[in-house]
Structure 1
Amino acid sequence: MESLQRRVESWIRGQKSKILKITWPQQWKMVVRWPWADAREQRKLIPEEYERRKKQLQELCLAVQAESVADLQDILCCMVLSECVYKVKF
């Protein structure tokens, strides 16, 4: 058992010395830049996008005669499930 321990320890020392000899490339500095130029502009665009999507959902609810977004979600889930059953059957 001791010989195995000595062999493992010598292997670890050998690996350590090999790793320490390696010269690693310099680390790159990561600079994160936002895709938009102005934060004020982005803060203005977020509520506009929210209102646009909210209006789209309301129009879709009216089109399929759903009373709420939750009802719309149920209708869409049923449509997807029925399409899956139809494809499996035929």
Structure 2
Amino acid sequence: HGEIRRFVAELAEDLHKWPAYQRFPAEDLVMLADLVVNTVIHLALDLLALPYGEDENEQISRTTKQLRLIMLGAMAWQPDKGAVPAE
């Protein structure tokens, strides 16, 4: 788990450099980074579990969509409220 925590911490630091995420508290950036890292780890495990010669495009496409959803959802996050506003 030490390596994963290190990846999460490094990604959180990198995210803080992006203007869109500079308003986020450190704990929210870590939460976002954790979602991204765990999604990518899940993809790696799925790819390793594929039978030899099976096409990995479906898993890669699904993960790409998941990451897009995570990052776009994060843009709507309101750190001071801890949630996305209800409509």
Instruction: Provide TM-score, normalisation by structure 1.
Output: 0.30
Q: Which has the higher contact order (CA 8 A, sep 6+)?
A: 2
Instruction: Provide TM-score, normalisation by structure 2.
Output: 0.31
In terms of Rg, which structure is larger?
1
